[in-house]
A and B are shown apart, each in its own frame.
Chain A
Amino acid sequence: DVKVTQSSRYLVKRTGEKVFLECVQDMDHENMFWYRQDPGLGLRLIYFSYDVKMKEKGDIPEGYSVSREKKERFSLILESASTNQTSMYLCASSLVGAAHEQYFGPGTRLTVT
């Protein structure tokens, strides 16, 4: 079974704080993705990575950065959290040739106050 884990299920941060969201997968997948999910908007891609130290911007990268130092780990960083970044954050992974079949972590519900 593919397992994708995320560091926190719920997180509350203050405006201006630096926030780290960690994601780890155990299936040696090359691709990893970060999405945010908001009511009525579906899943929107923030960043993705197809290899260690490689990253590509998704549809809404502003205010976020990512780090992939090891194949199994993909971190999302909010440099200075703002209230409009309150959301559910979902990490996913897939094999390099199978981006259509992504495995998702349980999500981190981030609240920025």
Chain B
Amino acid sequence: GQSLEQPSEVTAVEGAIVQINCTYQTSGFYGLSWYQQHDGGAPTFLSYNALDGLEETGRFSSFLSRSDSYGYLLLQELQMKDSASYFCAVRDPTNRLAFGKGNQVVVIP
């Protein structure tokens, strides 16, 4: 099975950088996805890492180390609209995602 660990809440000011970590234990691993969910909204896909290294998509970057069973999401130049919950999710060989419990990011002026 899978288990994913994410710290629970982070508060940061506009313009700052926030790193959200994710460690996982899984019996099968294809890759690590990241999702954003605003209060009352649906989760939306941000990024996916199947290989080790850094993937950059605008202000957001995601990193994976398969040997360490570890990944992170980096939010740069924080904006108020980035206040949301962020979930990591492991894709396994059965074609499903196992989600972490999420990390709430609060951006303050």
Binding site for B on A (CB under 8 A): 4, 31, 33, 35, 40-45, 48, 50, 56, 58-59, 90, 92, 96, 99-107
Contact = CB atoms under 8 A, between A and B. Distances in A.
Interface string B52-78: 000000000000000000000000000
Interface of B: 30-31, 33, 41-45, 48, 50, 87, 89, 91, 94-102
A100 B43 contact: no
B5 to A, nearest CB: 11
A44 B99 CA distance: 7
A5 B69 CA distance: 35
A56 B84 CA distance: 31
Contacts of B50: 100
B42 A102 contact: no
Contacts of B44: 104
B100 A42 contact: yes
B42 A90 contact: yes
A56 B94 contact: yes
Contacts of A92: 43
Nearest to B92: A99
6 contacts: A33-B96, A35-B99, A56-B94, A96-B95, A99-B96, A100-B89
A101 B48 contact: yes
Nearest to B45: A101
B96 A58 contact: yes
Contacts of A105: 42
Contacts of A4: 42
A33 to B, nearest CB: 7
A33 B17 CA distance: 33
B42 A42 contact: no
Contacts of B45: 100-103
Given A99-B96, A102-B43, 4 more contacts: A40-B101, A42-B101, A42-B102, A44-B99
